[in-house]
Amino acid sequence: MPKVSVCLAVYKTKSEYLKECIESILNQTYTDFEFLIVDDCPEDKDCERIIQSYADNRIKYFRNEKNLGISGTRNKLLDLTSGEYIAVMDHDDISLPHRFEKEVAYLDAHPECGVVSCWYERFPNLTIKKKPENNKQIIKALKDSCPLLHPAAMIRKSVLIENHLKYEDEFSPSEDYALWCRLVGKTSFHNVPEILFRYRDHETNESKKNNQKMKMATDKIRKSLLPQKTFIQKIIQLIGWRENESCNFSRRARNSLRRRNRC
């Protein structure tokens, strides 16, 4: 049984992007993994041809009989995993060679941590993104943004099983942000402070194609998951603010919600 299950959802991916993505996984310095690939476009033969051109027995390829959407396909991948850790990957990005090695080492050394991601580079404009490193900083940042890059993340599978968590279609295409919010108080988070991933900026990626839909989904998550009093209390408890700081945060959170609801 492999230590890591790599989960890759494919949908009408450009040939050159898919090749770079697959090869970045096969060239990892850490090698104890299975590489699960699910194609969510039943009629697409080009992606299938590229995937099957790689003679690597770690690759396990599946194609949906009908389109399931991104959350449905990610959940199918979760069901197929046999590893202790789940490495997420997107079909147009690049994992740098030491990504798995560093993330596995961190999870092995920190059993309290359920999700680890890393700093990354956006390309082709070559912008470096340094996200909050420790659990307290990440939880604090969650109320305003997504401080963990999902396609660069590695997740402890037992955390999802024990808490009965999967990706939720009602929050797509921000299903990753919803998952992180659901995990607050159930595990801890970490970003490895090294550039281990390259995130591709292009006109056809999901964040640009579905920008308005993503904004609506993110707003829905913040209204349905973040405003809860228990969530605010979790943040205060986990971050360990003093009483006056906790009161100030609660006041700011309520005022922010009032302003958002008036919009």
Q: CB atoms < 10 A from the CB of 75, how many?
A: 17
What is the model's pLDDT at position 257? 46
Phi first, then psi, for residue 45 (nearest 5°) are -95, -20
Specify the higher pLDDT residue, 13 or 226.
13
Distance, in Å, from the CA atom of 169 to the CA atom of 173, rounded to the nearest integer, reads 8
Encode pLDDT of 17-66 as tens digits. 999 999 999 999 999 999 999 999 988 889 999 999 999 999 999 999 99
Domain ranges of the chain: 4-211, 227-263
Strands (E), 2-144: 4-10, 33-39, 59-63, 85-90, 94-95, 113-123, 127-129
Q: Which CATH architecture has domain 4-211?
A: Alpha-Beta Complex (3.90)
Encode pLDDT of 133-146 as tens digits. 999 999 999 988 89
